[in-house]
Amino acid sequence: MKKNTDKEFKVGICGLGTVGEATLMLLTGENSNEIRHRIGASICVSHVATRTLKPELTKNVPCVGTDPFVVANDPMVDIVIETIGGYDPAFELIKQALANKKHVVTANKALIAERGNELFEMAEENNVVLAFESSVAGGIPIIKGLREGLAANKINWLAGIINGTGNFILTKMTEEQRQFDDVLKEAQALGYAEADPTFDVEGIDAAHKLTIMGSIAYGIPLQFNKTYTEGISKITPEDISYASELGYAIKHLGIANSSCSGLEMRVHPTLISKTQLLANVDGVENAILINGNAVGSTLYSGPGAGGDATASSVAADVIDIARYTLAGSSKPVYPSLGYQLRHKNIQVLEIDDVETEYYLRIPAMDEVGVMAKISSVLQAHGISIEAVIQKEPVSEVVPIIILTHLAKEKNMVLAMQAIENLEEVVGDINRIRVESF
């Protein structure tokens, strides 16, 4: 059957920052013929709205301006690409485009994670697509992997390095034994971290992405407020060194896990075995390990950010929408989050009810009987010890390193409070969770 190569889809891009510019170049540059042949139709960027006009980039775009709502309201536009970022005006822009029965492609992870439920309902009501592949892990097609490639699987768990800035910092700290603050300054100088790095280093960015993946994996509404979030700012070179001595690397992971007690959704620093594939993903790279009951474990790795990588995912969503339209369907055969939400009332566990193993670094006086007291406290809270390293004293203080067996978070918190109250313990305990995948 001959494809209709005369069909042309008109696309409007709102926001011409790093991702928007790269998307414009990808859709109009040397790849445009490749894209046309893959679809069987042409993609025409007919509109660009950008706060800062860039005539050298938009000279071949018919309609260029500063108001993104012009794009959302123009009846000639088939697909609106939102690369503005943030909540406002992006949220109202997407709502307006959907109300006008336009398909929308967005790279806005924060908006999807926190306000996506309303937007997906609106897309369904208007029989249009809200596509968001680029919102998670940049150029890695993880949304399609979860929603389509693993559609026949029950997802047991997933774990991912899903923030390149945090991974860069931990990699540098590991390789060069440098302090967090020092490496953060380097990351900012290189453009990997923002002037205000809170979203990256405190885990908020990763929590947005985990919220989206968890919703697809388990058929639940987006619930960002229930995703436990902890950053990497308290990790020290000493912790990295002690973890290595025990055979572990420290990575900042987003973890979703379906247990008999409920669903775990958590982002935090984690000790994982050096033999684990995730332990060897360094620098600004992202990687997600997914375990399905039929396929087993599969790893998805690649550039998690950057203009070109993210634009690749944006363009892929545009191509999908064009293909479905040409096939006679105004939207994909699957709902936006993979299937009809089937677990609207599933319990997302509080962190207190999550059970993991733990790494503890306890600063204690170099006195006889200290280890016995610490062991006694842990035992009283039902926590058993797997391994211990007792280092040489630093002045009168010796760091005691403990790996525990599985324990509930709430029991560990109580045990830590009791240990810190011991006269021989002279500072705060540094606690990092341990996972075996």
Q: Give Cα separations from 380 to 272, 373, 425 (angstroms).
A: 27, 11, 18
H or E element, residue 231: none
Question: Which burial class, exposed, middle or buried, applies to 225 when counting CB atoms under 10 A from its CB (0-12, 13-18, 19+)?
Answer: exposed
* N-to-C CA span, the chain: 47
Query: Has 209 been annotated as catalytic?
Result: yes
Q: How far is CA 65 from the centre of its chain?
A: 32
Residues listed for the chain? 437
Phi then psi dihedrals of residue 427, to 5 deg: -175, -175
Question: Which residue of the set 209, 234, 408, 410 is catalytic?
Answer: 209
Alpha-carbon separation of residue 419 from 32, 372, 377, 409, 434 (angstroms)? 63, 11, 7, 15, 20
**398 near 427, Cβ under 8 Å?**
no
Residue 35 and residue 105 in contact, taking contact as beta carbons nearer than 8 Å: no
Task: Verify cis geometry, omega within 30 degrees of 0, for the bond prior to 393.
Answer: no
Active site residues: 209
